[in-house]
Amino acid sequence: MLIDTHTHLFLEQFAADDEQVIESAVTNGVERFYLPNIDSSTYDSMMAFVGKYPGRCYPLIGLHPCSVKEDFETELDFIREKLSKQTFNGIGETGIDLYWDKTNLDNQITAFTSQIQLAKENKLPVIIHCRESFNEVFEVISKCNDESLFGIFHCFTGSVKQAQDVISLGGFKMGIGGVLTFKNGGLDQTVKEIDLKHLVLETDSPYLAPAPYRGKRNESSYLKIIAERLAEIKEKSLEEVAAITTENANMVFCQL
């Protein structure tokens, strides 16, 4: 059994064939899906999707760093209101993205810090998006870090040193996705040095499809390709990689 710890199955890219996508994922051993929200505009479709697939799909609530605009305080209020009424399995995705927009770093940091506090208050994992911003993310997290903080560095693509920094925080796993299959991606070299107990699997679908589907729509059934590549790098069986990463995911999402 595999768990896709990060997929946006509720987005319009899957509107026409979501049933086949779920069925094909389950056929490939992917039995549970965690859905990080983007912002208030995607909330209803996420919740509708979760309602359609009970026991398979679990909702997270957060504000994606690329959706942090001038009105971000309104978005944070929206999250607080939903958290007061409804159960979620984590806060996310949140974090810092300096690839698309470097001008609003201060707002991104404020929104990220608020969401870390919400994760702590609600005893939920925080799912972190970090793109061209490892130092900035790490600085924020280090300031807030204590025994009540835990979660996932989603789409981890960093160096061995950065992986060790994440591990040193104490409560964080690294989400490994399609980048692991990219030629010259370099992630295989990092992963070789990192114990499997620190890793969880994710697709981030519809984005970041693994080879040989790179550039096409990603979907959760491709999680098996990522797991197979991880097994190859770690010189373990697919079954062992599945068992360990599933246990890690259950630990993060408190479903042990």
For Ni ion, the binding residues (CB under 5 A) are 204
Report how far residue 145's alpha carbon sits from residue 119's, in angstroms, rounded to the nearest whole number.
12
Q: Based on CB atoms, which residue is closest to Ni ion, 65 or 183?
A: 65
User: Which residue's entry shows tokens 């979760």?
Assistant: 50
Q: Based on CB atoms, which residue is closest to Ni ion, 165 or 204?
A: 204
Shortest reach from residue 38's CB to Ni ion, in Å: 8
Identify any residues that bridge with 174 across adjacent strands, giving them in sequence order.
153, 199
Q: Based on CB atoms, which residue is closest to Ni ion, 97 or 165?
A: 97
Render the burial of 119-149: b for 16+ CB within 10 Å, e for the rest: bbebebbbbbbbbebbebbbebbeeebeeeb
Cβ-closest residue to Ni ion? 204
Region label for 34, one of left (φ > 0), alpha (ψ between -120 and 50) or beta (otherwise) = beta
If DSSP codes are grouped into helix, strand and coil, which group holds residue 213? coil
Shortest reach from residue 93's CB to Ni ion, in Å: 5
Shortest reach from residue 164's CB to Ni ion, in Å: 24
First-to-last C-alpha distance (Å) of the chain: 14
Shortest reach from residue 139's CB to Ni ion, in Å: 22
Q: How many CB atoms lie within 10 A of CB 80?
A: 14
Q: Based on CB atoms, which residue is closest to Ni ion, 171 or 178?
A: 178
Q: Based on CB atoms, which residue is closest to Ni ion, 203 or 248?
A: 203
Q: Please name the amino acid found at residue 155.
A: C
Both tokens of 25, joined, read 């994922």
Shortest reach from residue 32's CB to Ni ion, in Å: 17
Q: Based on CB atoms, which residue is closest to Ni ion, 9 or 163?
A: 9
Shortest reach from residue 153's CB to Ni ion, in Å: 12
